[in-house]
Structure 1
Amino acid sequence: MTTTLSPRQSGARAVYDVLRTEIIDGTLAPDERLSEPVLAARLGVSRTPVREALRRLEAETLVVEQPTGGVRVAPLDVADARQVYEVRARLEGLLARRAAERVAGLDGRPGADESRAEDVERLSRLVDLMDTVRDHDDEVLRIGAEFHAVVERLAEDRLCAALLRQIRGHVDRYRTLATRERVGTTAHVDEHRAVARAVVDGDPDAAEDAMRAHIDQSAAMATRALARAASSDTEH
């Protein structure tokens, strides 16, 4: 699919958003060489915003500079996946713990607590919605991302959330692989429901354990997909 930006979307931020999305969803494949002139022509922009966007992506290590010059999309591999998921499990587990602690502190006051109560109810609704679309990986990805965003909002832990955002691009690349492995099953629904139940119950230990178990399962799915892809490449 060819993407062309409109004149109002021709800045480095717009180019960055497009390229980042294409890296995460696999439109730009791992190890694919990225040419500034080719990208500029495809997006309908000058080379300057492309160059700036690539620098930003390099800072996130979503693209890597080559010794001979130019850049490529960062590869996906099992060792990197395990490291990303280990960090993610710790951070998201802590966010789930914080969310449950906040819920346990609800005291019926107006304002922030009302908003928090709405988010608590939304967690369960999102799990039910995920169950209805479990055969559609794009929708599961979208709803899952929203679920985790609600947990993050409930946690009110800005430092932990900021650290997670620093690796978000890498998390999302592997999350796409993991979700596709789960299509047609209810495992991911059950895992999210366990997190939601623990948060709603205000049980920090159970919330952290459930979230980390969910992330560990996602790690297993992602590494399985990577191993299968590597085996297929070897056979060919």
Structure 2
Amino acid sequence: MTDKLRRVSGGQVVYAELKRRILTLDLRPGQRLFEPELAQQLAVSRTPLREALRLLLAEDLLEQLPTGGMVVRTLSAEEIDELYTVRAALEGLMAAEATERMTESAGLELTKLVVRNELLVEFAEDAMNAGHDFHLKIAEIADHGWATRLHAQVDSQMARYRAFTNQSQLRRSAALEEHRGILDALVTGDADRACALAQAHVLSARDTALNAIGERLPQH
């Protein structure tokens, strides 16, 4: 039993590390993975490594070649468009739901997150994380089971693209203003406006991501 637990634990640790490398682009899109090299880098045996690779394959972060090898999934304009479009619908739904469930304490929590976003707006990664926390808090307030589960699934897939959405100060400042608008709609009880603003915000991020990674995408 102890050995089995160790194998499971080891596989999860390797999975988490490889996923981090994929999502941060340390493992490049299209890069082929070689098991002996990865096992040596991570100081693990083939068993936990193969378990981790199977999990990543199931999450569509890896692709299997006809020869049996695996590569990191390439960046895709179609995937970006689909992911952000689905997320926009989910964010709009949850913003509307959150409006109906708003309390004074929830409004204060959201306000603090927007203030934090403002303080960090000049720093790309910190601003990105602050904005992400704002959206997660709205999802928590909305308390919509299916939307939350689907949102988490889409959110995980989008992690590779999120960093491209706020590389410029112009976009970070615009995103902050959009967050302020969403917050205002939430605390004033305007569900329709909160929905529309949340959707528009995500679609603006989609357009920015597509423009930012244009040079990385395959040219036809």
* Structure 1 residue 77 displacement after superposition: 1.7
* Structure 1 residue 16 displacement after superposition: 1.3
1:143 and 2:140 are equivalent in the alignment = no
Among all aligned residue pairs of Structure 1 and Structure 2, give the percentage whose two residues are the same amino acid: 35
User: Which residue type is aligned with residue 76 of structure 1?
Assistant: L
Deviates more, 1:64-73 or 1:208-217: 64-73
Query: What TM-score, normalized to structure 2?
Result: 0.89
User: Which residue type is aligned with residue 47 of structure 2?
Assistant: T
| Cα deviation code 1:49-91 (max 9, x no counterpart) | 1111111111110111111221111111211110111111111
CA distance in 2, matches of 1:200, 1:223: 32
- Which residue of 2 is the match for residue 122 of structure 1? 109
Change (3 A) 1:10 1:156: closer
Within 5 Å, which residues of 2 pair with 1:1-236? 11-103=10-102, 106=103, 117-182=104-169, 185-230=172-217
| Cα deviation code 1:117-146 (max 9, x no counterpart) | 433212111112112221211101211221
CA distance in 1, matches of 2:194, 2:32: 42
Contact 1:81 1:219 in 2 (8 A): yes
Contact 1:97 1:204 in 2 (8 A): yes
* Structure 1 residue 189 displacement after superposition: 0.5
Q: What's the Cα RMSD here?
A: 2.1
| Cα deviation code 1:148-203 (max 9, x no counterpart) | 11011000011111112222222111111112245674101011111111112222
Deviates more, 1:141-150 or 1:165-174: 165-174
User: Which residue type is aligned with residue 135 of structure 1?
Assistant: E
Deviates more, 1:180-189 or 1:65-74: 180-189
- Which residue of 2 is the match for residue 112 of structure 1? none
- Which residue of 2 is the match for residue 4 of structure 1? none
Change (3 A) 1:32 1:181: farther
Contact 1:95 1:157 in 2 (8 A): yes
User: Which residue type is aligned with residue 179 of structure 1?
Assistant: N
CA distance in 1, matches of 2:107, 2:44: 44
Change (3 A) 1:167 1:133: same
Contact 2:185 2:194 in 1 (8 A): yes
Runs (4+) of structure 1 moved beyond 6 Å? none
* Structure 1 residue 25 displacement after superposition: 1.2
The SS at the match of 2:167 is helix
Structure 1: gaps (5+ residues)? 1-6, 107-116
Deviates more, 1:216-225 or 1:36-45: 36-45
Structure 2: gaps (5+ residues)? 1-5
CA distance in 1, matches of 2:53, 2:168: 30
User: Which residue type is aligned with residue 169 of structure 1?
Assistant: S
The SS at the match of 2:82 is helix
Change (3 A) 1:163 1:29: same
Query: What TM-score, normalized to structure 1?
Result: 0.84
